[in-house]
């Protein structure tokens, strides 16, 4: 049996060998069996884990992004194939506040889950994700503070409430836990906006420091955001089961046509939240603001960021909100995980073929192109649900037909395409080779209408339309039909129906006419008889007798 933690001298450390062959329950159980009090992870545990990961898989890459106040290395770890700073990335941070220990375990689990999906499950979605994007995690933002907590765990079996970093040079009448800088109030967007969302009191838990990015720890995150291609970010905190969206410094509104707004609104509807959760801006959720906050600054840099507070609040066991035991951690990994992975899943290019439509002859006549008898115009409506574009992806038409021409129209994400009033002047030609063309123009959270002119090779072709996403199911199919022939056949059927109706009408009319004529003849015959009787009755009696004698 392969385990992640091995006993070395007095510490348990991760041993990665074989973890991808285990199930998720096993991975979760290993995460709660670190070398610290109640199985929590030590700094050494995490360092050993990633050392093993780098030596056993090609998908894990470590980078130093800075140092702490006490000159400890702040390390990041990337999960992707062929690491490059230019690849679109999801940044996940934990331990801005060192006492929020539950965030570390969740951060590690998210990383291992995606790696497991790639290595063990061969999941095409996550294979595509790490081929074209990176997951970049920073387990210890406030590594000095966590090291102090770790020391208390080992030496005194004590759970301190150290929140801030260990820059305790600024005079404070308190010591230890309350001294230092709140790193999550030290970022540069509306830093020191007021003394409510952050404090100018060195002893306050939300003391922001003298200036934005005064601390080496926030400088390290700034370096990562400005030097890597960070598209999205999750800054993990605890507690409260709150999903805090920017902006937190005040009630600033977002551009409703912008990609961040569309992502946040979609996340509100589809986040798979559980328990007694809330999602929105800080002022709406907890009736307070936070300025100089990480997600606010990241969004100002174009990064779609959130700051979830993991775990539901427990008023009876305050410490357990920051330091959940093993049983509580397993529950947290299960209940808080679905929204987090849903948010991560917005990162890659996510094309969806929403509709396939074959134009008929009258539709085609309104457009720019005169089709031959064996050509067909197909409309493919596609939506990119992700936040990265379709660069290095291909749109493919199966070779049961031949792609003659390709055009496209860009639309807003939620715009309805009006086929009948389409402006053909907006059509742009696409270069294509072997029934394939690039999706470089497919920007995040947008819609594209492809108009494809196809030439049929075989009768009743079933054509597949799909994006080249490393094995994703090619389920978008359309059977090409000879609409012109169908229309002619339909007209013949309609004419035949009209002929049949006409024949029936004529037959019914003939019957009616015959009936009328019959009634006329019958009436004339009856009238003639009646007239003869009347004439006979008008004759004199002697004439009648004479007639009888004769």
Q: Which residues are catalytic?
A: 309
For 152, list phi and psi in degrees, rounded to 5: -65, -40
- Give every CB contact of residue 507 below 8 A, 6+ residues apart in sequence: none
Residues 460-489 as b/e (b if ≥16 CB within 10 A, e otherwise) read: ebebebbbbbeeeeeebebebeebeeeeee
Distance CA 277, CA 240 (A): 8
Nearest to 439 by CA among 345, 351, 348: 351
In whole angstroms, how far apart are CA 461 and each of 134, 313, 354, 360, 371?
Answer: 39, 59, 20, 17, 18
Distance CA 315, CA 317 (A): 6
Beta partners for residue 244, in sequence order? 280, 307
Distance CA 400, CA 264 (A): 41
Say if strands 401-412 and 351-358 run parallel, antiparallel, or are unpaired.
unpaired
Nearest to 403 by CA among 487, 480, 483: 480
In whole angstroms, how far apart are CA 4 and each of 11, 20, 22, 262?
Answer: 13, 11, 11, 40
Asked whether 247 and 299 are in contact (CB, 8 A), the reply is yes
Q: Which residue has the tokens 């210890």?
A: 140
Beta partners for residue 7, in sequence order? 12
124, with CB counted inside 10 A (0-12, 13-18, 19+), is: middle
267, with CB counted inside 10 A (0-12, 13-18, 19+), is: buried
Say if strands 89-93 and 230-235 run parallel, antiparallel, or are unpaired.
parallel
């Amino acid at each position: 049996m392969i385990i992640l933690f091995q006993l070395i001298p007095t510490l348990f450390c991760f041993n990665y060998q074989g973890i991808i062959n285990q199930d998720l329950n096993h991975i979760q159980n290993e995460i709660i069996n670190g070398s610290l009090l109640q199985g929590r992870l030590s700094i050494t545990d995490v360092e050993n884990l990633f050392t093993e990961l780098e030596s056993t898989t090609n998908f894990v890459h470590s980078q130093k992004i800075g140092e702490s106040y006490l000159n400890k290395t702040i390390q990041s770890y990337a999960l992707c194939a062929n690491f490059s700073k230019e690849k679109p990335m999801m940044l996940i941070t934990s331990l801005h506040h060192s006492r929020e220990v539950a965030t570390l375990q969740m951060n590690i689990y998210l990383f291992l889950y995606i790696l497991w999906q790639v290595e063990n499950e061969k999941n095409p979605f996550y294979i595509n994700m790490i081929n074209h994007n990176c997951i970049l995690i920073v387990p210890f933002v406030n590594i000095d503070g966590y090291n102090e907590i770790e020391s208390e765990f080992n030496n005194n079996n004590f759970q301190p409430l150290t929140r801030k970093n260990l820059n305790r040079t600024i005079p404070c009448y308190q010591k230890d836990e309350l001294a230092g800088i709140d790193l999550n109030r030290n970022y540069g967007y509306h830093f020191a906006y007021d003394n409510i969302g952050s404090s100018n009191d060195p002893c306050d838990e939300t003391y922001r420091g003298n200036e934005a990015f005064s601390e080496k720890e926030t400088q390290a995150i700034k370096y990562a955001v400005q030097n890597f291609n960070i598209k999205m970010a999750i800054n993990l905190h605890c507690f409260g089961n709150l999903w805090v969206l920017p902006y937190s410094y005040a009630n600033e509104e977002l551009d409703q046509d912008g990609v961040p707004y569309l992502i946040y609104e979609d996340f509100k509807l589809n986040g798979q939240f559980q328990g007694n959760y809330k999602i929105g801006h800080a002022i709406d959720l907890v009736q307070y603001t936070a300025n100089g906050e990480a997600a606010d600054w990241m969004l100002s840099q174009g990064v779609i960021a959130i700051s979830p507070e993991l775990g539901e609040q427990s008023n009876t066991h305050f410490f357990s909100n920051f330091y959940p035991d093993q049983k509580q951690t397993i529950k947290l990994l299960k209940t808080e995980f679905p929204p987090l992975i849903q948010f991560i899943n917005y990162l890659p290019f996510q094309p969806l073929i929403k509709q396939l439509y074959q134009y008929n002859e009258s539709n085609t006549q309104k457009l720019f192109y005169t089709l031959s008898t064996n050509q067909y115009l197909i409309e493919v409506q596609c939506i990119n649900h992700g936040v990265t574009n379709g660069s290095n992806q291909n749109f493919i038409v199966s070779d049961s037909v031949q792609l003659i021409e390709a055009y496209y129209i860009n639309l807003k994400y939620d715009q309805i395409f009006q086929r009948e009033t389409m402006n053909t002047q907006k059509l742009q030609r696409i270069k294509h080779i072997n029934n394939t063309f690039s999706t470089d123009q497919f920007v995040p959270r947008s819609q594209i209408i492809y108009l494809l002119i196809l030439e049929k090779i075989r009768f009743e072709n079933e054509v597949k339309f799909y994006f080249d996403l490393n094995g994703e199911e090619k389920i978008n199919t359309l059977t090409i039909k000879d609409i012109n022939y169908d229309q002619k056949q339909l007209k013949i059927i309609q004419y035949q129906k009209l002929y049949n109706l006409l024949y029936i009408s004529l037959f019914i009319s003939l019957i009616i006419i015959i009936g009328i004529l019959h009634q006329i003849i019958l009436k004339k015959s009856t009238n003639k008889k009646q007239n003869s009787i009347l004439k006979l009755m008008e004759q004199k009696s002697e004439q009648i007798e004479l007639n009888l004698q004769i």
